[in-house]
Amino acid sequence: MDSGVASTAYTKALDAEVASVKSVEKVRMQYMLLMEAYAHERRMGGGQRVVRLVRRKMNKLSNEDMADMFNISLPECDSIVKMIAEHPDWDDEQIADEVDWEE
């Protein structure tokens, strides 16, 4: 399937099933919504982990170093550090929800 062409009986059967599901508009829309929800959850879960890491390292490392270490942009890191300082009572999830994550 890496080539985009189904070549074995198994991949041909998968390809046919995917085509069948995609042809039904209601199922296709539900699938797309589900995939968007999964992507959002992954981003938020990852965001919470990043916030937790930044919280632990923010007094030990520069924002530039944390951004590089945690594979986020400097504006994202700056935003996290600022929100932690401004809202010390917020948990990692609340802060992650407020960050404008770059795609």
Which structural domain, as residue segments, surrounds residue 94?
A: 9-98
Whether residue 1 is predicted with pLDDT greater than 60 in this model: the reply is no
Q: What is the predicted pLDDT for the residue at 59?
A: 94
For residue 72, is it within any domain? yes
* Residues 85-99: tens digit of each pLDDT: 999 999 999 999 899
Asked whether residue 3 is domain-assigned, the answer is no
Q: What is the structure's pLDDT at 42?
A: 58
Q: Is the pLDDT of residue 9 over 70?
A: yes
Question: With 0-12 CB in 10 A as exposed, 13-18 as middle and 19+ as buried, what is 15?
Answer: middle
Q: Is residue 4 part of a domain?
A: no
91: in domain:
yes
Query: What are the tens digits of pLDDT across the range 26-73?
Result: 777 877 777 776 666 656 678 898 999 999 999 999 999 999 999 889
- Please give the structure tokens belonging to residue 43: 């981003």
Q: What domain count does the chain have?
A: 1
- Amino acid in the structure at residue 15: D
Is 85 contained in some domain? yes
